[in-house]
Copies of this chain bind each other. A is one copy, B any other.
Amino acid sequence: MITPAELTTPNFPNWCPGCGNFGIWAAFKNAIVASGWDNTNTVFVAGIGCHGHMINFVKLTSFEGLHGRPIPVANGIKMSNHRLNVFVFTGDGDCLGEGGNHFINAARRNHNVTVLIHNNNIYGLTTGQTSPTTRKGFKSKSTPEGNPDEPFKILNLAIAAGATFAARVYSNDIAGLTNMIIKANEHQGFSVVEMLQPCVTFNKECSPTFFTDNTYKLPADYDPTNIAKALEKTLEFGPKQIPVGLFYKVDKPTAESNYPQIENIPLVDNLVEKRDITKLLQTLY
């Protein structure tokens, strides 16, 4: 089992002081230690954005790909070695702007990966343009007169697309997030965790106080198995009206479970060998 010290890399996070990514970083490391994830069983894939720098700060096997494309990379990894826990760290821009098509289609196919969305409602790394989750009217570098566009409701979209696990946590609720990351990974299927993440530099509105003031926990009697209810609940968003917790969870066959050829042994556990294709060539005479 890995220790916190073993997760340390030579690079200290260069996120802005106060950035919500620190909370996510801490929670992920906690979850790793608590769950016994390590380089024998776990991989994470990151998009491009402030969130993507994660690969430099956690000593665990990782792939930092292209902006918007961590999900298909993760899908390929999981299909090739479904014994691995596969995480995706992505941003609101990465996941729903550049990468929106992968998000909805991977959800539909129910790939068994956990998608952790750093939702800071902004393009952080490119220094502050609106993202697909920025609220209408928000003034940013790209919208000095106010954002003309409506934001997505991430979890509503995720469920409509086919995600089988949908949750929301505030990034600085480290204990809650640790727990949710573990739960999301335990879930067999496409798990989406929307992490409300303050970007203290470019989104002064979605500050830590904003999130602590306006979030509330889903009530204990909330039933996350009813899709219609979950769709309704994930529409809710407003002052004092940001529910956090698990909105939806349903068990369905995962994408990887549909391939008999990998039922017993992960694809990569087969030796790569020259195959005899005489039978196939016979059909050509």
Chain A contact residues, CB within 8 Å of chain B? 96-101, 104-105, 108-110, 132, 148-153, 156-157, 159-162, 227-228, 231-232, 235, 252, 255, 258-259
If A100-B101, A100-B104, A101-B100 touch, whether A152 touches B157 (CB-CB below 8 Å) is no
Q: Measured between alpha carbons, how far is A129 from B105 in the docked complex, in Å?
A: 16
Q: Are B110 and A150 in contact (CB under 8 A)?
A: yes
Q: Are B235 and A108 in contact (CB under 8 A)?
A: no
| CB neighbours of A109 from chain B (8 A) | 148-150
| CB neighbours of A110 from chain B (8 A) | 150
| CB neighbours of A228 from chain B (8 A) | 228, 231-232, 235
8 A-B pairs with C-beta separation under 8 A: A97-B105, A101-B101, A108-B152, A109-B149, A109-B150, A150-B252, A227-B235, A228-B231
The interface centre, meaning the residue of A159, A162, A227 with most chain B CB atoms within 10 A of its CB, is A162
Q: Measured between alpha carbons, how far is A106 from B110 in the docked complex, in Å?
A: 24
Q: Pick the residue among B148, B153, B160, B162 that contacts A259 (CB under 8 A).
A: B148
Known: A98-B101, A108-B132, A108-B151; 11 extra A-B contacts, CB below 8 A, are: A97-B105, A100-B100, A104-B157, A108-B149, A149-B255, A152-B161, A152-B162, A157-B157, A157-B160, A159-B160, A160-B231
Q: Measured between alpha carbons, how far is A227 from B227 in the docked complex, in Å?
A: 14
Residue of B nearest to A151 (CB): B108
Smallest beta-carbon distance A232→chain B, Å? 4
Residue of B nearest to A149 (CB): B109
Q: Measured between alpha carbons, how far is A148 from B259 in the docked complex, in Å?
A: 8
Q: Measured between alpha carbons, how far is A258 from B136 in the docked complex, in Å?
A: 10
Residue of B nearest to A97 (CB): B105
| CB neighbours of A148 from chain B (8 A) | 109, 255, 258-259
The interface centre, meaning the residue of A101, A227, A228, A258 with most chain B CB atoms within 10 A of its CB, is A101
The interface centre, meaning the residue of A100, A109, A159, A160 with most chain B CB atoms within 10 A of its CB, is A160
Smallest beta-carbon distance A69→chain B, Å? 12
The interface centre, meaning the residue of A108, A152, A156 with most chain B CB atoms within 10 A of its CB, is A108
If A101-B100, A231-B228 touch, whether A160 touches B156 (CB-CB below 8 Å) is yes
